[in-house]
């Protein structure tokens, strides 16, 4: 049981399609007392998203009978530039360039503490989930995109530019697929779900979803097997670069692609080891244990 001496921990996970809010139980933060969702309705624009967030907090107050605390943690797509306070790199495009923390604090009447959603997931898994009590944790999101967060002693590292842990846009050797970030050969362009599906098309001309490709590989289908073997090798190269710099005590692999069994096999560990300066690779590769609660739990943990 993890006990935090604090009035109440309120967290909000701002996603592209839904906004989720939760109050964690102050005596056992692995339990959520209240959980509510409202749609983001991001096509209606920035002001509407702010109003949806305010509506959610109001509804949580009503249902819980509790007053909002002085600080509320909020996980966002993209990151807040620590120098300007403006949001950047968000796939919910209307948030980019906006002073989201300031505007949210104004509309909620309390301080909004923001962090990138991958950082929130890493924080939750490092404090309440798979890597509970581990000193240095690299938390990965490997899904439709590739992101990550670094947690040390229960604290998220933000970085001087707010981009700490963003390994998804490191380059891979011999890769040149153009990326939306303006460069090419990025990890995300090779290892994300849509990139794997694209690679399978390049081999076969057939457009399949990743679960279908995985199922085909199990029947011995050659292009499907090649697609997944390539994922293993490229994921290992990408992860090796991170391990050489951070040497974390544990790595948690979240996201839809992160769910694939092949990432947790001895073959994958050997593939990572080939890229290491160190001659051993003992770091545990862990499956997340909080599922889709990680985002909102991690947001709430931002204010501890
Ligand atoms: Zn990129």
Report the separation in Å between the CA atom of 170 and the middle of ligand 1, taken as the mean of its atom positions: 7
pLDDT less than 70: residues of the chain: 1-6
Question: What's the pLDDT score for residue 27?
Answer: 75
Alpha carbons 165 and 153: distance in angstroms, whole number: 16
What DSSP character marks residue 186?
B
| pLDDT given for residue 5 in this prediction | 43
Cβ atoms 269, 235 nearer than 8 A: no
Q: Dihedrals φ, ψ of 286, to 5°?
A: -110, 145
**153 CA from centroid of ligand 1 (Å):** 29
Distance 77 CA to ligand 1 centre (A): 16
Residue 89 Cα, ligand 1 centroid: separation in angstroms?
11
pLDDT at 223: 98
Q: Which helix (H) or strand (E) holds 20?
A: strand 18-25
- Going from the Cα of 262 to the center of ligand 1, the distance in angstroms, rounded, reads 25
DSSP 100-145: HHHHHHHHHSSEEEEEEHHHHHHHHHHHTSTTTT-SEEEEEEESSS
Q: What is the DSSP string of 231-297?
A: HHHHHHHHHHHHHHHH--SEEEEESTGGG-GGGGSHHHHHHHHTT-SSS-----EE--SSGGGHHHH
């Amino acid at each position: 049981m993890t006990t935090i001496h604090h009035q109440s921990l309120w967290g909000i996970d701002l996603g592209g399609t839904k906004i989720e809010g939760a109050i964690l139980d102050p005596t056992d933060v692995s339990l959520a007392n209240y959980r509510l969702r409202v749609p983001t309705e991001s096509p209606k624009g920035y002001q509407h998203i702010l109003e949806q967030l305010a509506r959610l907090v109001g509804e949580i107050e009503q249902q819980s009978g509790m007053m909002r605390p002085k600080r509320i943690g909020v996980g966002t797509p993209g990151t807040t530039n620590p120098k300007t306070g403006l949001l950047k790199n968000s796939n919910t495009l209307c948030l980019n360039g906006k002073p989201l923390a300031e505007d949210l604090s104004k509309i909620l009447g309390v301080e909004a503490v923001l962090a990138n959603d991958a950082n929130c997931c890493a924080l939750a898994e490092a404090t309440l989930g798979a890597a509970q009590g581990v000193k240095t944790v690299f938390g990965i999101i490997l899904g439709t995109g590739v992101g990550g967060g670094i947690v040390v002693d229960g604290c998220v590292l933000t970085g001087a530019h707010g981009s700490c842990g963003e390994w998804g846009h490191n380059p891979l050797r011999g890769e040149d697929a153009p990326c939306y970030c303006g460069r090419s050969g990025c990890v995300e362009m090779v290892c994300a779900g849509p990139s794997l599906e694209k690679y399978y098309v390049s081999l076969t001309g057939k457009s399949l979803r990743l679960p279908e490709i995985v199922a085909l590989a199990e029947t011995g289908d050659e292009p499907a097997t090649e697609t997944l073997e390539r994922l293993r090798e490229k994921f290992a190269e990408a992860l090796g670069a991170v391990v050489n710099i951070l040497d974390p005590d544990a790595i948690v692999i979240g996201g839809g692609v992160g769910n694939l069994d092949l990432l947790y096999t001895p073959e994958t560990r050997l593939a990572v080891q080939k890229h290491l300066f160190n001659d051993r690779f003992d770091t545990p590769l862990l499956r997340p244990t909080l599922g889709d609660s990680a985002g909102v739990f991690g947001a709430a943990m931002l204010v501890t």
